[in-house]
A and B are shown apart, each in its own frame.
Chain A
Amino acid sequence: MSFTRRRFSLAAGSALAFAAKPAFAADPVKVGALYPLSGQVAKSGEDTLNGIRLAVDIINKKYPNLKMPLAADEGLPGLGGAPIELIAADHQGSPETGAAEAERLIVQSKVVALVGAFHSSVAATSSQVAERMGVPYISGESEATPLTERGYRWFFRTTPSSRTQAKDFFTFLRDINKTHNNSVKSIAVVHESTLWGQEFAKSVDAYFKEFPEFQKSIFVGYQQGTADVTSEVQKLIAAKPDAVFHASYDAEAILFARTYKQYGFNPQGIMAIGASFGSSAFRDALGADANYFFVREHWSRDLAARNPLVGEVAKMYRERYGKDMDGTPARAFTAMMVLGDAINHAKSRDPEKIRDALAATDIKGDALIMPWEGVKFDKTGQNILTRGIFVQTLDGTPKMVWPADFAAAKLVWPRPAWR
């Protein structure tokens, strides 16, 4: 009797000990991702989220041939091999929905960090929630400058802001003028009128002082989702600028390009911020008319010539998602890698420790797929080691043409006439 009772209590005790054991170190680390998965930019939202999914997969599985942090091990070694569990939420392009979803992810899904949001307007509100609730928020692709000017502790941004990107446009034109007889004198700006477009216009405006050889021509703002851009284009025709800077999402890029062709509007060069004028959707819709547009890009597949890692990751993206990677998924991918790296260094799921690890991030350029010098955040949470490139669509393919030292093709300036 007492023998079996002892055995029983021994067995029961060990069973209870197992049941009461705290969470395994290998339990997944939950990260929330906020992106527009329905609505006007659903395509871009999904493509961007796929960049993050790819990064999560590389972190979670073993890829010993990829020379980047966390690729060779399974999961996060600093947390006993714990995998990252990505929980995606659709903010539909609405700042209010973004904030609500951020709160839901933090409170109900108990994520340790947030990644997002494509739209700067949604990044603004959702990161506000994260700041209030003490959860790290990393943005790989929301560019509006004010996002890092709010004095937040919990917000980090790996992508360059609109302001730093605007400067690249002027640097580029100054370079063009050196080899093309100073032919560019006036600059016009066409921009959509939400936070992103307005910020770009403001940033460009501020740089005319630093680059006095250029004059400000007309600035045309337009409503996203406009049915017709005739009045906008006619204003540009009347102003006769030498160069046009564009801040547009995919849809209007197509509309503007077609309307430019209709009215024969042909400045020396049209250069865009954001991938729209170089995207596959744009090239499919316009065919040969997509040629000669410039895009100030964050990333190009041509970078693989300098760093093979770029080609390998781009190939994986293409194989899994059936589309070519472009600058936005590439940056989202990078942001997720930076976050994974920080959580790994923090060796903890505690948001405060993750935040501190993010603030101390120091990743070298060759571990990234971006043309940056590295990732290092300043006091405001902005990555200060970024660099831009210009890509021009030639013969239907976007080719990196600037800076000249790692150009894959020679740039064409001025634009030839519309055929």
Chain B
Amino acid sequence: MSEQLILQLVVSGLGMGFIFALIAIGLTLIYGVMDVVNFAHGEFIMLGMYATYLAYVTWGVDPVLSLPFVAGLMFCFGLVVYYLLIRRVLTGNMQSQIFATFGLMVFLQAGAQFVMGADYFAVRNSWLSGVVRLGDVVLPVPQIAAVVGSSLATILLYLLVFRTSIGRQLRAAAQDPQAASTLGINVSLMYALAWGIGAACVGVAASLLSNFYYIFPRVGAVFVLLAYVAVALGGFGSIHGALIAGVLIGLLQVVIGFFVSSELKYVPVYMLYLAVVLLRPRGLFGRS
């Protein structure tokens, strides 16, 4: 068992893990602020990836350069989803909220297939492709970029939520919307921002993913299920919980896949999730 193999497995696991984490963070932010589970979260990934691909193919813009624009585009999309759809179902019961985001998911998947077709696309030869060699060890650049990009995005998000006045208002609206509004905080705007920022996180993840993953209407499903697990595992509403859980899942699937069986590599992930749900339902870091 060579060190280079272990290092390669770890880098790859971290790469995937940070991507899962970033997607999960977007999801947990939305849930944490307003108690709504975004079932269309996977489709946000899909849209971000298509946006990156289209920018690449139409104007030759590399994913690294289009990343801030894709994040901005997804931020606006999150706002639009909030104002057009979510705001109307917030006053309804939980079933309406579930159906609303679930319906959005179906609509976006079918819409993507209608507009773009069911074909698989891939960004060929982006700047962040290829490998880095450290002696005998081969480290894929896209995975390293995923770690770096996702970490930066997470740090920025952390600073936003815990060190700015907007972040304080967000947290206040999350804790107690009525009290927050009596203090003059525009709760509806905070909710919209939560959607926008959550979608922007996904936009960053999507842009990083486009460097090495293929794009098609159902691509969201591949990542979002693990993101939901990361959110539940880390604790609904906890940003650092989602981060740690996402990275853990990334490492677990690559280690089990190599040492035990590739067909069963997600089984321990789900088993871990079951264990947490049974033994500690609020997740590793969630509020009770």
Interface residues of A (CB under 8 A from B): 38-43, 45-46, 193, 220-223, 225-232, 234-235, 238, 250-251, 254-255, 258, 262-264, 281, 284-287
| Cross-chain contact A227 with B223 (CB below 8 angstroms) | yes
Q: Please name all residues of chain A whose beta carbon is closer than 8 Å to the beta carbon of B8 when the two chains form the complex.
A: 230, 234, 263
State which of B117, B124, B218, B263 has its C-beta within 8 Å of the C-beta of A287: B124
Chain B residue with Cβ nearest A45 = B118
Q: Please name all residues of chain B whose beta carbon is closer than 8 Å to the beta carbon of A285 when the two chains form the complex.
A: 120-122, 124, 214
State which of A45, A229, A251 has its C-beta within 8 Å of the C-beta of B216: A251
Say how far A161's CB is from chain B's closest CB, in angstroms.
23
| Cross-chain contact A251 with B217 (CB below 8 angstroms) | no
Q: Please name all residues of chain A whose beta carbon is closer than 8 Å to the beta carbon of B221 when the two chains form the complex.
A: 225
B186-232 with Cβ < 8 A to chain A: 212-214, 216-218, 221-223, 226
Asked whether any CB of chain A lies closer than 8 Å to the CB of B127, the reply is no
Compute how far the CA of A262 lies from the CA of B121 in the bound complex, rounded to whole angstroms.
Answer: 19
| Cross-chain contact A43 with B266 (CB below 8 angstroms) | no
| Cross-chain contact A254 with B122 (CB below 8 angstroms) | yes
Say how far B13's CB is from chain A's closest CB, in angstroms.
7
Q: Please name all residues of chain B whose beta carbon is closer than 8 Å to the beta carbon of A263 when the two chains form the complex.
A: 8, 131, 138, 140
Asked whether any CB of chain A lies closer than 8 Å to the CB of B28, the reply is no
Interface of A is mostly: helix
Interface residues of B (CB under 8 A from A): 5, 8-9, 12-13, 16, 110, 113, 117-122, 124-125, 130-131, 138, 140, 212-214, 216-218, 221-223, 226, 253-258, 261-263, 265-266
| Cross-chain contact B258 with A262 (CB below 8 angstroms) | no
Q: Please name all residues of chain A whose beta carbon is closer than 8 Å to the beta carbon of B266 when the two chains form the complex.
A: 223
Compute how far the CA of A225 lies from the CA of B221 in the bound complex, rounded to whole angstroms.
Answer: 9
Say how far B168's CB is from chain A's closest CB, in angstroms.
36
| Cross-chain contact A234 with B5 (CB below 8 angstroms) | yes
Chain A residue with Cβ nearest B209 = A227
Compute how far the CA of A284 lies from the CA of B265 in the bound complex, rounded to whole angstroms.
Answer: 30
Compute how far the CA of A371 lies from the CA of B217 in the bound complex, rounded to whole angstroms.
Answer: 35
Compute how far the CA of A232 lies from the CA of B117 in the bound complex, rounded to whole angstroms.
Answer: 30
| Cross-chain contact B212 with A258 (CB below 8 angstroms) | yes
| Cross-chain contact B262 with A235 (CB below 8 angstroms) | yes
Say how far B54's CB is from chain A's closest CB, in angstroms.
15
Once A222-B262, A223-B263, A262-B140 are accepted as A-B contacts, the answer to whether A231 and B254 lie under 8 Å apart by CB is yes
| Cross-chain contact A43 with B263 (CB below 8 angstroms) | no
